[in-house]
Amino acid sequence: MESSAPAGPTPASISQKRVLVVEDHKDMREALAEVLALEGYHVSAVPDGEKALREARRLLPDVILLDLMMPVMNGLQFRAEQLRDPLLAAVPVIVMSAFDIEVTAAARLSKPFQIDDMLETVHRLAA
């Protein structure tokens, strides 16, 4: 009898992967963090780009989920700083925005997006 491999990554295969969620809306930030943690990721979540830079340097994430419209330091400013930092420049970023703003990123999720689409994108980029 043959068994097929699971369709996506297993929690054991992603348990050491780190995801940084950068989102100013508290409910959205907490929901994304909870879903990713349930999938087995180590998640850190912050409300703005300034805190995200500090946390990214501490965490060294495998993937960053980045909102663009935030107070203190917006996503575009964060991305510019990230690309200047040799420790962080290669970390893939998934931009989450309702606006069609030009920014270099590994992937884009248009708000509102489906959780399954977000998870598939994170799984692919964290692999």
Instruction: Give per-residue pLDDT as tens, 4-49.
Output: 333 455 555 556 899 999 999 999 999 999 999 999 999 999 999 9
> Could you tell me the two tokens for 55?
């946390």
Tens digit of each residue's pLDDT (9 = 90 or more) over 62-111: 999 999 999 899 999 999 999 999 999 999 999 999 888 889 999 999 99
Given this model, what pLDDT does residue 14 score?
A: 58
Interatomic CA distance for residues 126 and 6, integer angstroms: 17
Residue 43 has phi, psi (to 5 degrees) of -120, 135
Q: Which domains does the chain have, with CATH numbers?
A: 13-126 (3.40.50.2300)
